[in-house]
Amino acid sequence: MKFLLTAFLFLFTATGFTATEFMADKETITLDMSLSIDGKLISKPRVISISGKTASITSASDNEDGVFIEVTPTLQNKNEVFMKFVVAKLEKGKKTILGKPQMISTLGKQAEITQEFTNGSHKSMSLVVTATL
């Protein structure tokens, strides 16, 4: 058994990966978000994702009206997160994209982005995010 474990460790380190590098690639990011449309708070979800991987959340009522948020957070440097979003409104199950905002935030600090609309049934969308590890 000892030989098998030693052989496994040798193969693992021979590939160039160390435990620290493996875990660094799998950094978990928690996003506390707040979405407002036309000044009205719509949703306050918490999303947990791996750096560089896309996560999504759907909040809908029984009649299939609600919101959809997709986010891809990527850890940059040691204290910044770059986030790409897709925000959509659900009406009777049909998804209508409201915007695709992007932002960079310092870990633990609140960041906000607001998008104004010139046509359609909504005037604005605001997304407030705090990212933590």
State the pTM of this model: 0.75
Please indicate, yes or no, if residue 100 is contained in any of the structural domains.
Answer: yes
Report pLDDT digits (tens) over 15-59.
344 334 444 457 999 999 999 999 999 999 999 999 999 999 998
- The domain of 84 spans 27-132
Backbone angles phi, psi at 108, to 5 degrees: 80, -5
Taking the CA atoms of residue 95, residue 131, residue 106 and residue 97 in that order, the dihedral angle to the nearest 10 degrees is 0
Q: Tell me how many domains the chain contains.
A: 1
Residue 53 within a domain: yes
Output the pLDDT for position 17: 40
Instruction: State the average pLDDT for the chain.
Output: 82
pLDDT the model gives residue 47: 95
Instruction: Answer whether residue 1 is part of any domain.
Output: no
pLDDT of residue 22: 41
Asked, for residue 5, whether it belongs to a domain, the answer is no
